[in-house]
Structure formats: structure tokens, C-alpha cells
A and B are shown apart, each in its own frame.
Chain A
Amino acid sequence: MSALGNIIKKEIKELLTPATVIPILFVAIIFGSMGTFIEDIQEESLEKPIIGLISEDNSSFSLIASDIIYENAEIVYNSTDKKDKLEGLESVKKQEGVALILIPEDFTDKIEGEKPGEIQIYWIMKGAGITDAISSDAVQRLIYIINRNISYELIQVDNSSNATLALNPTIRNETTYFKNKELHGLSPGDVIGLVSSQSTLIPIVMMMIIIMAGSMVISSMALEKENKTLETLLTLPVKRSSIVTGKIVASALIGLLLSVIYMIGMSYYFQGFQMTGGLSLADYGLSLSSFDLVLIGISLFITLIAALSICMLLGTFAKNYKSAQTLTFPVTMFALIPMFITMFADFDTLPLAIKGIVFAIPFSHPMMASRALLFNDYGLVIAGIIYVSLFAIVSISIVVWIFKTDRLLTGSTRKKIFNKMSLFKIRK
């Protein structure tokens, strides 16, 4: 073999290790799954929305509206009396519908009297994720088509009509029902926008803490090995649990300090967005109490400890500082999964299997906490805190157990066997 070939072979063997291949495979799988998820969403957006219709008006303009609704939506409830509203809402809800549309009896009269006709929309919102707005978007498109067709009609029949009315012959009166709350004057899009602005900060902060504090813990273990200080430390009169806890607590404190600095900057950034919106969740009775904030804090802290215990576990695998840097990658990826899922979808509307995965990832819980608490879903948050606490206890126990074995100093037997079976074994 030539000298160049020899070097290339040696370099490939050195670089192509499970530590470099597995994270990339993991990312590929994540992006693949996300692609399928987005494809499903696109397909869903093409489906006809399921709605209920109460039309009290039987005149020209309301008939235009009804025809369009019948043509572009799947009607699961139909009535001509607004007294049936509650029954209609129940029926639409049962059949997984998105909204009940009510056309009042004065709809046509108002338009003919050169006033916009009111369309009342009662939204049934299932989740507060971005994808949960897809079905409501389809209904919004429907209303847009109704508006446009009535405009055509007005211009064709009476071209002397008021231009403002001709362009906007209808107005929407929206009420959204979400998690036992009745939100007047808000569409699902408005609710999602407001909730997102409140709950985007924590996932980002969580990510930052995990990346910063996590890499500190892993590197600390790697440096103990690289600088040959670990052996001395392990023969000192100090409990293994104290070594593990000491490293985790120190990194958690530094992580929290850094995240506070980060949070201050980020909160100003988000305040800028909230001011321009002009809407506030508090105006609709949706705000976090001091108790809620304490719960979020507990969830965040417990999750940080759990995250650092996983990092510590990974740190025991780190041979040196360089390998420690690659080991932070899987932790970051595990934090990215719930971050994206909670951003795009609501926990309540996820399929059961995905729900299980999201719940099992400890990082999900503080990310979901603020949204859940806004709608008084204490069960999810408290269950999350209990689960993450148990997770942290088990992880720390495993780390302490590893500290009591030979693994830290000698590496596992399985790893040696794996190395012997390495992908590119050089044979003479």
C-alpha cells in the first residue's frame, strides 16, 4: 500500500467511530421523521374541513355563503335556528370538527342596507401548536371565498354600491373554545400566536442550559481523565455520590447563571413582539399565577438535574476532551425533539405513541409547562415533575454505580469487543 493510502486508511479508521456515526444517523432519522410529519400536515391541509352550519337567513347572499360552504366543507350539523348553537357545537366536537358557522337572519338585509353581514364562527380548538391551526386555516379560506363571491355579486348586480362594502361585504365574529375556556373575539390563529409568544422562551432557554451546562459536565469528566486527576480523586475519602452530585450541582448553578443572563436578553426580545401584537393573554383570563411560576421553576430545575445526570453518564464514556465534545450532540438532539414537537403541535393532540415519546424525554416537561399551566392543566405538569424527578434519581444512581465499578478507569469489556470488531479493521 502507498504511503498516502496508508495514511488515508489510518485517518478513516480514526474518524469513523461509533461516536461520529451514531449522532449523524440519529439526525438523519429525526429529519426523515419530520419530513413525513410535514407531508402528513400538507395532506391534511388539502382535506375539506369538518364544520357545522346554522343558517337563519334564506335570502340571496346567505345562499351564496351556504353554497360555498356545502361545496368546500364537510357539513356534520345543519340547522336554521340559532337556539341550536350548543347542540351544534356538541355535534361538531363529537365528530372532530373544527367550527360551527352561524349566519344570522339579518345577514342579507344588512349587506343590502350597505352594512357588512356578520358571520359568526365558533371555533373548536384542539391544540395550541402551529399545526393545530391548519384546519382552521381551511375555514378561514372558506370565509375568504364567501367574501369574494359576495363582492362579485354586489359589483355585478349593483355597480353603484359602496366600494368599501363591495370589497368587504362580511365581518367575522369569532369565539374560540379551547380547553374549557371561551375566548371571545379570538380566532385559533390569534390564540396560537399569543400562547406561542408566552411559551417559546422556555424551550430556547432549556436548550441553552442543556448545551452549556451539559457540555461543562461532560468536559469536566473528560478533563479528569485527560489530566489524570480522576484516579487520585477516587482514592480520596469522599463518597462517590458526593463527587457526582458536586459536579452536577456546580454545572447546574453555572448553567442557571448563564441562562438567567440569556433569559434577560431574550425576554426583552420577546417583549418587542408582544407590544406590536396589541393583544394580551391576561385580557382573556389566561395568565400564570405565582404558583404556576414556581411549578415552572421546579420543572426547569429538576429537568436540568436530569439532563446533567445524563451528561454525567455520557461523560463516563468520554476518553478525552475531544471525544467529550461529540458526546454533547445526542443530548442536544434529545432536547431538539421536544422543542420542535411542542412548537409545531400540542401535547394533547399528538398521536398516543408520539405522546409517549415526548413524555418520556425529560426535556419536554419544562417546555410544555407554561402552555399547560395557562390552561390549568396541572395534572400534566405535576406528573412531569414526578417523572423527571424519578428519572434524575435513577440516572444519578446509575452514575454513582458506574463510579463504584472499574468502568471509569478501564472502560467496559463490551467496548473492547466492539473495538475489535471495528468497521475498518486494518489487517496486515
Chain B
Amino acid sequence: MVGVEVKNLKKNYGSVEALKGISFSIKNGEIFGLIGPNGAGKTTALRIISTLLQINAGSVKIMGFDVKKQPGEIRKFISYLPEDAGAYKNLTGRGYLTFIANFFGEQKTKDMVDKGIEIADLDERIDDRVDTYSKGMKRRLLVGRALMTNPDLAILDEPTSGLDVINAQEIRKIIKNTAKNGTTVLLSSHNMLEVEYLCERIALIADGVVIEEGKPKTLMDKYNAKNIEEVFTKVVQ
């Protein structure tokens, strides 16, 4: 069953065309990667799917709901992790997770916070103020926040950005497990190893257009490449 369906999506910022009619679809429970060079339109596409930006043309449907007409419904089952997201500095890690969980109903709050704390894995530092966290700790907290709500669709922009190798590996495992439990994942990353490891299918986007789409293995075969990084270089150049 299709979880996300993007059809001929166009987005302009004034006279600048950020997306020139992209289309792709993601199956339920699939991890789908959106990759491309800087300024290709990845973040714009993720922001539109996250109900943050309006669309100029085309359509986006998530679990059958239209992004343009039913953004409120969509927000109930999606979770978005922006690339440079922050948390409220005056709250503790636990306080921040509780603040977010409260939007999803009081009954679920405790379970969500427990799950968030488990993913963030900050031990006793979870009760320290966010402004005392390192960049990596903050990112772990934010990943915890994004996945604790058991979203139907998790939209993750550079989920392991700022994390060291060990922590990044840990987060990748968590993302994989989340998808196994039924969450559809749409992620964007500049780390091609990460994309190759996590994604079942990928779309290569450049200059607002999807120029390739398929399984990593199929694309590597098609371009006679050893890895996705090589595919990326060949396609973009």
C-alpha cells in the first residue's frame, strides 16, 4: 500500500523554481531516501511533505490525506526532524520530550517519553537543561523526539548530522527497527553509506527534478558503480 504519493510537485520562491514537478511514491513501512546536491530541492520537498510549506502545483498525499487540504490530519501521524533543528534551551531533555508528547494525548505521554528517553540514551543527563548538551547529545534527543511518537511517517533530514560514528550507527539501527515496526521513513542524507545501508529505494534529485529513482542495488548495476556515492557522482555530473 502506498504511504506517500508525490505527483508533479512544483514549488516556487518568487521567481526561483525550487521544485519543477517531481513525482515519487513510498510504500508503507519502506525507508525511502531523497538524495541530491546542495540546493537540489530536497529540504523543500521534505518541508512540503511535513505540511510546513504550501505547494504551487501538483499534489502530495500521505496515507490518503491531501497535504494541501488536510494538513491538520496529517500532523497527527507524521514526525519531522529538520536538519538544523533545536530544542527549547530552558527545558531539560525530559521536559522537552514531555512537552512534545503532551500534544499527542495525555494517555500516551508517559509511554512516549519513556521511548524518547530510551532512543536518546542520555542516561542521567536527560534531566539536565538542553543548553548544557553537546551537539551530538542534542541530536540524539531530537531523534528520540522524532521517533518516540510512533509516527506512520517519519521525515528525517540528515538524521545523523553532528553525530560521531558510534552514535550515528546506533541511530541508523533505531531507524531500521522503527521501519520494521511499520513506520514509513523518508530521509535525506549527504552520507551515501548511510543511504545505502538504510534505504530500500532512493530518488536522486538535482535542480528541482528527480533524475533517477530505484533500489540502490539496481542503480549501482545500471551505472556500473561500486556504491551509491559513485552512482550519485555519475548521475549528477
Contact = CB atoms under 8 A, between A and B. Distances in A.
A238 interface: yes
Contact of B52 (A237, A409, A416, A417): A409
Contacts of A413: 13-14
Interface in B23-76: 47, 50-54, 72, 75-76
Nearest to A417: B14
B165 interface: no
A235 B75 contact: yes
A413 B14 CA distance: 6
Contacts of B80: 231-232, 235
A239 B72 CA distance: 7
A406 B53 contact: yes
B105 to A, nearest CB: 9
B82 interface: yes
The interface residues of chain A, by DSSP majority, are classed as: loop
Contacts of A236: 75, 100, 103
A410 B79 contact: no
A405 interface: yes
A236 B151 CA distance: 11
B53 A237 contact: no
B86 A228 contact: yes
Given A236-B75, A236-B103, A410-B13, A231 B53 contact: no
B88 A406 contact: no
B85 A229 contact: yes
A234 B54 CA distance: 13
Contact of A405 (B13, B54, B89): B54
Contact of B85 (A232, A239, A405): A232
B219 interface: no
A415 to B, nearest CB: 10
A140 B222 CA distance: 102
A156 interface: no
Interface string A195-232: 00000000000000000000000000000000111011
A424 B97 CA distance: 45
Contacts of B51: 234-235
B14 A231 contact: no
A231 B13 contact: no
Contacts of A231: 47, 50, 52, 80, 82, 85
Interface residues of B, number: 26
B78 interface: yes
A235 B85 CA distance: 12
A229 B103 contact: no
Nearest to B81: A232
A237 B31 CA distance: 23
B104 interface: yes
B50 A235 contact: yes
A361 to B, nearest CB: 34
A237 to B, nearest CB: 4
Nearest to B44: A410
A416 B86 contact: no
Given A236-B100, A413-B14, A229 B87 contact: yes
A365 to B, nearest CB: 35
B48 to A, nearest CB: 10
B124 interface: no
B88 A409 contact: no
A278 B79 CA distance: 68
B84 interface: yes
A410 B53 contact: yes
B47 A409 contact: yes
A416 B89 CA distance: 30
Given A235-B50, A410-B53, A229 B86 contact: yes
A227 B84 CA distance: 9
A308 B87 CA distance: 25
B16 to A, nearest CB: 9
A416 B72 CA distance: 29
B233 to A, nearest CB: 30
A227 B50 contact: no
18 contacts: A227-B87, A228-B84, A228-B85, A229-B88, A231-B80, A231-B85, A232-B81, A232-B85, A232-B145, A235-B50, A235-B79, A239-B72, A405-B54, A409-B47, A409-B53, A410-B53, A413-B13, A416-B13
Given A232-B82, A235-B51, A235-B52, 20 more contacts: A227-B88, A228-B84, A228-B85, A229-B86, A231-B47, A231-B50, A231-B52, A231-B80, A232-B81, A232-B85, A232-B100, A235-B50, A235-B75, A235-B80, A238-B103, A406-B52, A409-B47, A413-B14, A416-B13, A417-B14
Across the A-B interface, give the 4 residue pairs with the lowest CB-CB distance, nearest first. A228-B86, A413-B14, A227-B86, A235-B80
Interface of B: 13-14, 47, 50-54, 72, 75-76, 78-82, 84-89, 100, 103-104, 145
